[in-house]
Structure 1
């Protein structure tokens, strides 16, 4: 009887070890939502005019919050130069031209444009 118990215990442990060595295919899949995927495809350092919040414009002196708000609300844009079609003052146009090389335009992503998150994304100091 002891021998049978020993063999059963050894068999159960062997099966358990085989299960532990099975590949974890579920862990190999990288999960990513639409917003993360869109942010990952953007070029480093460039602000996407169709998907950025107004806070992204703080790095450009003079653009935040007034000009940034106009740009965010005035989208979507087919090209960077479409921003100049907005109702901007001469100073705002010059300011935009100054920082124009820091912007890019990609297709708007619904996950980044729902509600008023681009105007007020809830990041407070």
Structure 2
């Protein structure tokens, strides 16, 4: 009985290996896409104000961490200009206006906003 079971298990393993070799890589990649990947593709190279973490603002001098934290906690936004409705100093408004073209707004997605991931997304240097 043990031999029969081992033969069957090895047959299943071999069949799965052959299937992965015969299946085209594009089909495998399509199965691996999820909601977060689609949402990130939708925003392009811009920072999504409703779905990005604080660390996404590091590329803009002066925004990280204080203003970035205010922006992340102040959402969700209907458009980019809604950020200016927050309680910001004149300097913060000036900085935001400077980089405004680098931001976009898409509907919030639970796949990217669950828990406190937008404040501390666990990416450390």
Which TM-score applies when normalising by structure 1?
Answer: 0.76
Instruction: Report the CA distance shift for 1:24/1:61 in structure 2 as closer, same or farther (over 3 A).
Output: closer
Answer yes or no: is 1:40 the counterpart of 2:22: no
In 1: Cα distance, 2:41 partner to 2:96 partner: 25
* CA displacement, residues 95-115 of structure 1 (integer Å, 9 cap, x when unaligned): 100100110011111100000
Q: Provide the residue aligned with 1:120 in structure 2.
A: 120
Query: Quick check: which one's helix share is greater?
Result: 2
Aligned length in residues:
103
Q: Provide the residue aligned with 2:11 in structure 1.
A: none
Structure 1 stretches of 5 or more lacking a match? 1-19
Q: Provide the residue aligned with 1:99 in structure 2.
A: 99
Structure 2 stretches of 5 or more lacking a match? 1-17
In 2: Cα distance, 1:76 partner to 1:28 partner: 35
Report the CA distance between 1:24 and its aligned residue. 4.4
In 2: Cα distance, 1:41 partner to 1:79 partner: 15
Report the CA distance between 1:76 and its aligned residue. 0.4
What value does the CA root-mean-square deviation take over the aligned residues?
A: 1.9
Report the CA distance between 1:122 and its aligned residue. 0.5
Report the CA distance between 1:80 and its aligned residue. 0.4
Answer yes or no: is 1:53 the counterpart of 2:53: yes
Query: Which is higher, the Rg of structure 1 or of structure 2?
Result: 1
In 2: Cα distance, 1:40 partner to 1:81 partner: 22
Could you list the structure 1 runs, at least 4 aligned residues long, displaced by more than 3 angstroms after superposition. Answer: none
